[in-house]
Amino acid sequence: MPPRAVSAVFDESNLFADVGLVPVMRLAERAGLAELARASVRIDGADNSGGANPAAKVTSLIAAMCAGADSIEGADRLRHGAMSTAFGGIRAPSTLGTFLRSFTHGHALQLHAVHRTFLGELAVHTPLVPGAGQLAFIDVDSTHKRVFGRAKPGAQYGRFKGIRTLHPLLSTICTPLARPVIAGVRLRQGKSADSRGAERFVTEAVATAAEAGCTGIRLLRADSQFYDAGVVAVCRRAGARFSITTGMNPSIKRAIAAVPDGAWRQIRYPTAVPDPTTGELIFDAEVAEIPDYTAFTGRPKAEQVTARLIVRRVRDLAKPAVEGEQGELFPLWRHHPFFTDSPFETLQGERQHRHHALIEKVIAGSKASGLAHLPSGHFNANAAWLTLWAMTYNLRENLSRGGSGSVCIRMPRTGGRRVRRVTFDDPGLVSGYGGTRVSPPSKGAAPCSV
């Protein structure tokens, strides 16, 4: 019979569980996280001095998320073992909760500014978005996060019947050589329209990409909820390109019907794509381009846009097969159009647009880590938590793209934590720290700030 209770006691003052936090927070320190928080986040007049010393509280929350915390209480793991040997300025969960509950909408915007600048500083320290001098993709999408507290502000019944959600917006930056990093996040109420605030959000995402070193072609990719004249206008004013799913409206149906049969080009996916209706795997499709399609014709002439309409069609597998000797009279197709001014050839542009689904992996990963809960009963506290998670994600992505030297960092996953080996090109990041044994700092040396 296994024992009913098991306890573990550390008798070695230099042992602690999350040694990977040492290089993580050292890099955050070098990128100026504490200074950015101290300069930008100013919470005056909060109860219980909740706004005091925002730098220490921001870095404590980010360190806790890096260690796997998905709630405010989870930040208590920073105070166990020998954490105080390597880190200074650790705050208790109760203090951090008071800090988050002191946020207003304006303070959340201050934290967004910290996030944008911090991403640019991280890009200076390592090649965070390699290849961005030639081509960078800016992906925008929305998601729903289920919440269970009936009194939680902003949680509403929206798209999913009987499920209360909050409705974040998310933008990422990636290149053909690099995984996504998060350019921006916004927390909205559960009933908010997908495109609510899209123009301002896209404006900030495109500007953030430029600040992160994306000096080549910037291509915005989005789903049909962002098919809007205002979003396209934002891209053109900022010098960015766009590739946006359109859905099927009467104008687009007429344009597709006019495509001659000989214009469709066969493509084959390297991996199967599931049919959205039946779930069956599709290996083949056809693509055609309408070179001069004018969108938004119901708006004033100045807001109408003429660009390329690229259409992918696949056989409609949802229709029942014809029985008997008579075969199919004519094929039935499902059409998937998108509107773009991409400079790339038709098939390449179509492949790049489908790659937009990469943002779904970031969203899924968020719900298995720092966004497993939106932990507070205050809407703006959850908005701040969302932004802090985005900074944590970018910090970890930065560390996973280093060079020589190595350290093991614990990465949060559903059902526990796995250890991933990460390499660095700066031996100073991990000097003096090996395995799970941490030597005290040398005389006169300061520990990492948390």
Please state, in angstroms and rounded to a whole number, the distance separating the CA atoms of residues 274 and 279: 5
* Residue 33: other Cβ atoms inside 10 A: 24
State how beta strands 169-175 and 135-142 pair: antiparallel
Which pLDDT belongs to residue 308? 97
SS3 412: strand
CA 398 to chain centre: 14
The continuous run of DSSP H or E covering 58 comes out as helix 54-66
Tell the residue number behind the tokens 């469709």, with chain if given: 264
Position 87, amino acid: F
State how beta strands 333-340 and 448-449 pair: unpaired
Contacts of 49 (CB under 8 A, 6+ apart): none
Please state, in angstroms and rounded to a whole number, the distance separating the CA atoms of residues 375 and 20: 25
Position 348, amino acid: Q
Structure letter (DSSP) for residue 321: P
Position 93, amino acid: P
At residue 227, what are phi and psi to the nearest 5 degrees? -75, 90
Q: Is 14 exposed, middle or buried (0-12, 13-18, 19+ CB in 10 A)?
A: middle
Which tokens sit at 15?
Answer: 């042992």
Q: Is 374 exposed, middle or buried (0-12, 13-18, 19+ CB in 10 A)?
A: buried
SS3 130: coil
β-bridge partners, 416:
413
Cα of first residue to Cα of last residue in the chain, in angstroms, is 43
Please state, in angstroms and rounded to a whole number, the distance separating the CA atoms of residues 438 and 415: 27
Which pLDDT belongs to residue 433? 31
Per-residue pLDDT of the chain (450 residues; tens, 9 = 90+): 666 666 655 556 666 777 788 888 999 999 999 999 999 999 987 667 788 899 999 999 999 999 889 999 989 888 877 787 778 888 999 999 999 999 999 999 999 999 999 999 999 888 889 999 999 999 999 999 888 877 788 888 877 878 899 999 999 999 999 999 999 999 999 888 888 889 999 999 999 999 999 999 999 999 999 999 999 999 999 999 999 999 899 999 999 999 998 999 988 877 776 776 677 777 778 999 999 999 999 999 999 999 999 999 988 766 555 555 555 555 688 899 999 999 999 999 999 999 999 999 999 988 888 888 888 889 999 999 999 999 999 998 887 765 333 333 334 443 334 333 333 344 333 332 333 333 444 443 344 555
Say if pTM beats, i.e. exceeds, 0.95: no
- Side-chain-facing half-sphere of 250: CA atoms under 13 Å: 2
Please state, in angstroms and rounded to a whole number, the distance separating the CA atoms of residues 446 and 188: 40
Whole-Å CA distances, 36 to 4, 58, 106, 196: 48, 10, 16, 29
Which pLDDT belongs to residue 432? 29
Please state, in angstroms and rounded to a whole number, the distance separating the CA atoms of residues 118 and 105: 20
Tell the residue number behind the tokens 């996060």, with chain if given: 145
Q: Check: CB of residue 106 under 8 Å from CB of residue 118.
A: no
Q: Which of 131, 107, 186 has the alpha carbon at shortest distance from 154?
A: 186
Helix ranges (H only) for 31-127 are 33-40, 54-66, 83-86, 93-101, 105-125
Sequential DSSP letters for 433-449: EETTEEPPPPTTPPPEE
Where would I find the beta strands (DSSP E) of 187-332?
217-222, 241-245, 265-274, 281-295, 305-315
